[in-house]
Chains A and B, each alone.
Chain A
Amino acid sequence: MENLSPKYFRENIRRSLTDEKLCTNVKKATELTLLKQKSVIEDLNEWELLRQQAHQIRKIAIDNLDYYLELFEKKCQGNGVQVIRASNGEEACVSVKEILSNGSAKLVVKSKSMVTEEIQLNEQLEKAGIEVVETDLGEYIIQLAGETPSHITAPALHKSREEIGKLFSEKLGLPYTNDPTVLTGYSRNILREKFLKADAGISGANFLIAETGTIVLVENEGNARLATTIPKIHIVITGIEKVVPSIDMAFLLLKLLPTSATGQKITSYVSLINKPKHPNEIDGPEKIFVILLDNGRSKLLKNPETNSSLYCIKCGACMNICPVYQSVGGHAYGSVYPGPIGSILTPAMSSLCDGRELAFGSTLCGACTEICPVKINIHHTLLWIRNQAVANSYTPFTEKLLFRVWRSVMNNLFLYNLLSKIVHFLQPLIGRDGLKNSEDSEYKNIPELAEKSFHEIWKSELSK
């Protein structure tokens, strides 16, 4: 198990890279998703236009966040839905515990929510003597294993079917199988019982529609529908950035989210929840609460360099395409939100000092920016975070010194030529083939220097 803090990023990366099984699982899963996504995008020939519109919609929402949050809150009140603002995780957890104890709830079913991971809600509720059951299959697997999600849309992506089969037989005493259909059947039966007995359901939200006070939930399994229908109490916990001005805008984003997340045109279920159960109805929650969590989001919002990261609709595409994520998996980041976008969100939610390492775990290739459905300039923002880390002296002094020397050499032709001559002269001492597979270069080889430098060739060619 990796260290659950971004502080140990480097250590975790080293460990992940030696874990062959993990590398194959992650690579296989991310590549499959990317392939499916590509075929849907090719079908939708308007992808680039959709991305531009989605970017504008998210920009309007984030630039006027206070206005739309107030509108959403007002509409919710009209719908009989109570809205609670929480400035941090602790406040949110306290609110949830209060709602649950007022409703004497002992058993809670949860549908997938990264925000509840962010505020470590499960731990807090368990401490208060409340049984919490994750009901998304991937999350249920992770909960049984006592781990955290390694991807925001496919939390158990790092596990093979054999590992899951073993986990089910060890923890649940069920006959071992590696057949995904049978394993899924096991969880259906166990979780169905929990759903029917649950006192409260907790969900996140994919979008909040301001003009109608609607909670939008996107899913494939049906567990979010069950968790928000069977129990008498439904609690929504979500970040303040999820608000979207209008129904039409929400539906445009709805075209992009499943495509980017799983390569589907639409998910099996999209629930648009407006109000609790009407006396005429025979099912549905009697009470709905929406907890709007800040937890560092205002900090991102105030900074023009980072506020576009709040446009994120949490599809996970930047993780799938990132060469670093593909090689090390989500746990190595030691943060709730892994991958490129996670490297921007994490320092804001904890502190730059704790999360700065993550921004350095990027090749700055820009694949994340290219795939982002809402066109967040992810790799430029990562570069800015690196810049801040250097400016705040969070990087080692020797590194700073080295770059200062490098800069003065690169700015001075005489020094540059002199130094390259010295290196060339010294090369035979370290071997003509360059440094290969030596202990100092575990992952990278230093190539052999050319017989003649570019400058020398240039000069001799010119004199001809």
Chain B
Amino acid sequence: MDHNALIAQFKSELEIINGECFVASNYEIAAKIIASFINENQYKSALVNNRFQLNESLFVNSAINIKYVEEFGTDEEFKNGVVEADVAVSYAEYLVAQTGSAILIASNNEPRLLSLLPRANIIVSEVANLVPDLSVAVKLLNSRNLFVESNCVTIISGPSRTADIEKVLVTGVHGPKKMCVIIVNLEKD
């Protein structure tokens, strides 16, 4: 299956489970998508995985507070920071087309709470990391010894949800109400 077919499958699976998906041809465009997502939803602050650098001039409202995970000195400071952030920008090691899932590995760049506490979670990854199904993702993780060496691997498929009251779907129970994935497709013109 070529990239475009995988991207299409990923997008449609993620949309079924109330997530959103965007494709960007480079990281600058990805940053623009993030900026417009934050502006449109009138969020005030974002906490970002150290791997990304966001161009702050992109944010229409200059009052938007952008912070990076590495800025926090202590665990307690980070905890307070992540509680206050409206949006989290995370990085996924792999994306899975069959289930619309993102696979995140806990690290000092990608703390476990980053993709969990803020109201919205934007997950960024490259098209090279998009695989057809979970078993391929597991094989790749194993071949890089990432599965056993990681402290915690999290598979995220859509926003936090519940149907505990009369089977009515509600998103944003304990985790993010909105979840979106940006696939950076560097091969695209």
Contact = CB atoms under 8 A, between A and B. Distances in A.
A222 B78 contact: no
Interface stretch (A259-267, A334-342, A435-443): A259-267
Contact of A188 (B13, B112, B163, B173): B173
Interface stretch (A4-12, A66-74, A269-277): A269-277
Contact of A282 (B72, B135, B150, B151): B72
Contacts of A264: 17
Interface string A1-39: 000000000000000000000000100110011000000
A183 B172 CA distance: 12
B88 to A, nearest CB: 12
Interface residues of A, number: 62
27 contacts: A141-B165, A154-B167, A159-B165, A184-B170, A184-B172, A191-B174, A192-B83, A212-B147, A220-B160, A225-B154, A225-B174, A226-B113, A226-B117, A229-B113, A247-B138, A265-B99, A266-B101, A268-B160, A269-B157, A270-B154, A272-B152, A278-B151, A281-B107, A281-B112, A282-B78, A283-B111, A284-B111
Interface string B147-187: 11011111111111111111110101111100000000000
A275 B69 CA distance: 21
A323 interface: no
A248 B157 contact: no
Interface of B: 13, 17, 69, 72, 75, 78-79, 83, 98-99, 101, 106-108, 111-113, 116-117, 134-135, 138, 142, 147-148, 150-168, 170, 172-176
Contacts of A275: 151-152
Contact of A33 (B147, B158, B167): B167
A148 B38 CA distance: 42
Interface in A176-191: 180-181, 183-184, 187-188, 191
Given A160-B166, A184-B173, A188-B172, A271 B154 contact: yes
Given A225-B116, A269-B175, A281-B151, A32 B167 contact: yes
Nearest to B78: A282
Given A225-B112, A251-B135, A281-B108, A269 B165 contact: no
A292 to B, nearest CB: 21
A29 B166 contact: yes
B39 to A, nearest CB: 24
A280 B75 CA distance: 11
A272 B154 contact: yes
Contacts of A94: none
Given A137-B173, A266-B101, 17 more contacts: A29-B166, A136-B164, A156-B165, A161-B165, A180-B168, A220-B173, A222-B116, A225-B175, A251-B134, A251-B138, A265-B99, A265-B157, A266-B99, A266-B157, A271-B155, A273-B152, A281-B107
Given A265-B99, A271-B152, A273-B152, A284 B112 contact: yes
Contacts of A262: 163
Interface in A243-266: 247-248, 251, 254-255, 262, 264-266
